[in-house]
Chain A
Amino acid sequence: MSGKRPIKFKILELFLDGKEYWNYEIVQKIQEEYGMRSDFQRDSINFDIIELASGGMLRDVEQKVDDNGIYKKGFLLHKYKITDFGIQRGSDACLRYV
């Protein structure tokens, strides 16, 4: 596990390509990379995304109902895009090693 960045750094890094991603896409990627398999850890990663959005670094651009249980059946899925502030904070935090 050495060399891994904090989870919020990693989330911002994934969004830094400027594309829009669904929350479950990001959550699944982090779960795999960090070996966080439990439902509790899944929800905790999702809460990190919510915190980044409330901090003005991500913007909630689209919602849809999770009919097929991709993430949590019957709940809402959110699609996010990085904001200018997010790009600035993300670049400060993540691009040092690039």
Chain B
Amino acid sequence: MDLKALKKQESKRKISKGYMWAFFCALFWGIWYLPGTVVWVLNPFDKMNSAIAETSGDGIALVVTAVLITAFNALTVMLALMVWNGVLGKYKELGRTLREFHTCSKWFFLASICGGPMAILGSFIAMGFIGGSFAAVAGLLYPVIGSILAYYWYGERISKRAAIGIAVIVLGGVSIYGGGLLNELSSGNVPWIGYLGGLMAAIGWGTEGAIAGKGLDISEPDAGLTLRFLGENIIWWIIIVPILALVGFPMYSFAVQAFEPLTLLILIFAGITFGFCYVTWYKSFPLIGVGRGQGIGNLYGFCAVIFIFLFFGDVPDWTIILGGLLCIAGSFIMFTEDTSALETLRGD
């Protein structure tokens, strides 16, 4: 076979593999909202929520319960990633990456602060207060935050096309938030903390991406992502959960009760889907470019809405569906800008 035909074959293989990884990312990310929503009605989280609500009020009860759920989510993601690294034989690389604290792993720990207590906690809060579809679609606003940060931090220019994409995503955001809000304002019962959770998801994921990128470009993503979740576990289990326990919330007594077959199964399901959505996301980037990887990954919003409909029979408001469509359209406008990456992959 000649050089030209081989180049074509190689790029074809790369592109189809890249799209496959990105599509798996969207599937895993979308499926994650199923266990994330279900876990709220399972014990001990259900009991914990009502027990704390009696003494501290509904709002605080939901946030404190969300903290424990997020902490368990971090734990099971870590487990899933440790198995993954074991299968790939990457424990040594994990150790080598961890030791490069100054140049590399400190970025993962910083990223975990934005990812954990902001994005993932926010998502669980949004799922608990409002619902899975809203949580998933609200998270779609993250590229706007990411590009604004890149503009101020790295001095990255925002092109006209990217600006149009951002505008479309923001319109989507107005639809996602505005639709429900109008109904609730008229009924006088607005779940503000849920909306705040949705915003936390978007801001958290946008910042996490910008920070983690600094470490990930010079490390193996499998190792880097595991360290990012190691950081998140430290934040929850060594800092926040003990502090909440000291303040007087019954964190440990409910945490111990989570070791119940059905609850554990759902938590492990959440860990596997969330862990692998991160892994597959990063696998797609070198093959089809960060832009396409993120654009297709963002189809997760749609996958989540479909899965939630199939499994729970929940049909989201049309404003959420319209907003989700606008966000996905906007992310394609933003991300598919740089066609040179795909052309170089194609060869000539």
Total inter-chain residue pairs, C-beta < 8 Å: 70
Pair A6/B3 contact, Cβ less than 8 Å? no
Residue pairs across A and B with Cβ atoms less than 8 A apart, 19 shown, are A4-B96, A6-B100, A6-B218, A8-B219, A47-B286, A48-B220, A50-B286, A51-B286, A53-B286, A54-B285, A54-B286, A54-B289, A55-B286, A60-B344, A64-B3, A65-B3, A65-B6, A76-B3, A76-B7
B90-134 with Cβ < 8 A to chain A: 92-93, 96-97, 100, 102-104
Number of residues of chain B lying within 8 A (CB) of chain A: 29
Chain B residue nearest to A55 (CB atoms) is B217
Q: Which residues of B contact A34 (CB under 8 A)?
A: 92
Q: What residue in chain B is nearest A54 (Cβ atoms)?
A: B286
Asked if A98 is an interface residue, CB under 8 A from chain B, the answer is: no
In the assembled complex, which residues on chain A have CB atoms less than 8 Å from the CB atom of B2?
65
Taking CB atoms and an 8 Å cut-off, the chain B residues in 268-289 that contact chain A are 285-287, 289
Q: Which residues of the other chain, A, contact B97 by a CB distance below 8 angstroms?
A: 6
Contacts A5-B96, A54-B287, A75-B10 given; 6 further ones with Cβ under 8 A?
Answer: A6-B96, A6-B97, A6-B223, A8-B218, A51-B286, A75-B6
Q: State whether the Cβ of A31 lies closer than 8 Å to any Cβ in chain B.
A: no
Q: Give residues in B with beta carbon < 8 Å to A.
A: 1-3, 6-7, 10, 88-89, 92-93, 96-97, 100, 102-104, 217-221, 223, 285-287, 289, 341, 344, 347
> Nearest Cβ in chain A — how far from B8, in angstroms?
10
**Bound: A40/B341 CA distance, A:** 27
Bound-state CA distance A47–B286 (Å) is 9
B292 CB, nearest partner CB in chain A, Å? 12
Pick the residue among B10, B100, B341 that contacts A9 (CB under 8 A). Answer: B100
A93 touches B6 (CB 8 A): no
Question: How many positions in chain A have a CB within 8 Å of any CB in the partner chain?
Answer: 32
Alpha-carbon distance A74/B289, docked complex (angstroms): 26
Instruction: Say how far A94's CB is from chain B's closest CB, in angstroms.
Output: 9
The reply to whether the CB of A19 lies closer than 8 angstroms to some CB of chain B is no
When chains A and B are docked, how far (Å) is the Cα of A6 from the Cα of B90?
A: 11
**Is A6 a contact partner of B217 (Cβ separation < 8 A)?**
no
Contact of A1 among B3, B92, B104, B344 (CB under 8 A): B92
A-B pairs, top 10 by smallest CB distance, nearest first, are A54-B286, A51-B286, A55-B217, A6-B96, A93-B103, A6-B97, A8-B218, A76-B6, A50-B286, A76-B10
